[in-house]
Amino acid sequence: MCLNNFWHWSGGFAQYTAWADGPGAIIPYPGDYNQFELFSARFYEIKKATDWFDDHIRFLLSRKNQYT
């Protein structure tokens, strides 16, 4: 299970960064891969984004499957 990533085709860190930046934030998809990586790396600087990711991990770890 991939929990997060820097891949441009799947959201990952870039999507959390865009959500934290708010409406109108634009993810700089390649054309310029360096610009995309720099945008994605901002994830680590934005507390709101890392908090959302931490919440997601907590949700996954505490989830109880009702069938097993």
Summarize pLDDT for 7-22 with one digit per residue, the tens.
888 889 999 999 999 9
Q: Give the number of other CB atoms < 10 A from CB of residue 40.
A: 24
Q: What is the pLDDT of residues 7-60, one digit of tens each?
A: 888 889 999 999 999 999 999 887 788 999 999 999 999 999 999 999 999 999
* pLDDT at residue 43, rounded to an integer: 96
Nearest to 46 by CA among 25, 68, 60: 25
Sign of the alpha-carbon torsion through 67, 12, 43, 18: negative
Sign of the alpha-carbon torsion through 57, 58, 62, 65: negative
